[in-house]
């Protein structure tokens, strides 16, 4: 099997790349040309891992890289879009450029790889596409005015393509992790407003291996919605069935944080 993983040089993506390569799959990593990719390239040689240094928001670069990786590794059987950014902050304090950058990387960086592999998968009538959204793509969260809408967009894309591609034998899933123990979360925590910590402070941190387990299990079971732990599943069910209650709980958390500030 040939898997393409965007953002596969760090965090969830890197854990997934190592897991897939370890079980003998051919893996192509599309990631920024930075220290993370250099570290991955410096690891003991793994013939099945192919790397391409690109910005996933660059449509032409993504199409070119996927064409090259499929020529080298064979048709893509599994695409997992892990590349993403998050810069928390209060809506009125963030520059316009951050809103554009989040949509470019998180949404378009999911869209372009998907557009590149879908025709081949449809022709072969097989394949799976897994889009990493976020719990903030299920429920709006204080301090995520740039991030959350971009992840809602990923969710909308995943749900739409699930319906469109299912008749062609192509499975599409969205993944909605909460806080995951990654370098990105460590950097994000330095910028979170107190109200954001108050809302998300009760969420149990997930490991990258836990998320990878959920992804692989979800693909094998052809699940459309992949949640990574019981608490996330409970909160997601609450947000869907009783959104007023979810809003009440989060509003109270914000009010307490504002009152103590």
Express each pLDDT in 185-218 by its tens digit.
888 888 888 888 877 765 678 899 999 999 999 9
What is the pLDDT at residue 258? 67
pTM: 0.90
Rounded to whole angstroms, what are the CA distances from 37 to 8, 13, 24, 93, 185? 8, 11, 21, 32, 18
What is the pLDDT at residue 41? 78
**Rounded-to-5 percentages of helix, strand, coil across the chain:** 55, 15, 30
What is the pLDDT at residue 48? 85
CATH number at residue 142: 3.40.50.720
164: how many CB neighbours lie within 10 A of its CB?
12
Q: Which residues of the chain have pLDDT under 50?
A: none
50: how many CB neighbours lie within 10 A of its CB?
18
Catalytic residues, by residue number, are 133, 147, 151
What is the pLDDT at residue 168? 98
What is the pLDDT at residue 261? 52
CB 38 within 8 A of CB 32: no
Q: CA-to-CA distance for 56 and 41, rounded, in angstroms?
A: 19
pLDDT in tens, 3-27: 999 999 999 999 999 999 999 999 9
Structural domain boundaries enclosing 253? 2-260
As for how many domains the chain has, the answer is 1
Of 18, 125, 80, 88, nearest in space to 226 by CA = 80
């Amino acid at each position: 099997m040939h898997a393409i993983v965007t953002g596969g040089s760090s965090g969830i993506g890197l854990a997934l790349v190592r897991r897939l390569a370890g079980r003998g799959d051919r893996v192509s990593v599309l990631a920024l040309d930075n220290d993370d990719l250099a570290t991955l390239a410096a690891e003991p040689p793994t013939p099945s891992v192919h790397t391409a240094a690109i910005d996933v928001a660059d449509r032409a670069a993504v199409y070119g890289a996927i064409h090259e990786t499929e020529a080298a590794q064979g048709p893509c059987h599994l695409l997992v879009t892990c590349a993403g950014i998050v810069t928390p902050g209060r809506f009125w304090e963030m520059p316009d450029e951050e809103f554009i950058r989040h949509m470019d990387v998180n949404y378009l960086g999911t869209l372009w790889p998907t557009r590149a592999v879908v025709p081949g998968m449809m022709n072969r009538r097989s394949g799976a596409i897994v889009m990493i959204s976020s719990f903030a793509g299920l429920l709006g969260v204080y301090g995520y005015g740039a991030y959350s809408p971009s992840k809602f967009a990923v969710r909308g894309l995943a749900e739409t393509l699930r319906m469109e591609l299912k008749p062609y034998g192509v499975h599409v899933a969205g993944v909605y992790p909460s806080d995951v123990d990654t370098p990105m979360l460590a950097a994000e925590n330095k910028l979170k407003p107190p109200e954001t910590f108050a809302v998300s402070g009760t969420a149990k941190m997930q490991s990258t291996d836990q998320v990878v387990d959920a992804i692989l299990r979800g693909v094998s079971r052809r699940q459309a919605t992949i949640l990574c732990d019981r608490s996330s599943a409970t909160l997601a069910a609450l947000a869907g069935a009783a959104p007023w209650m979810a809003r009440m709980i989060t509003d109270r958390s914000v009010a307490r944080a504002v009152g103590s500030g």
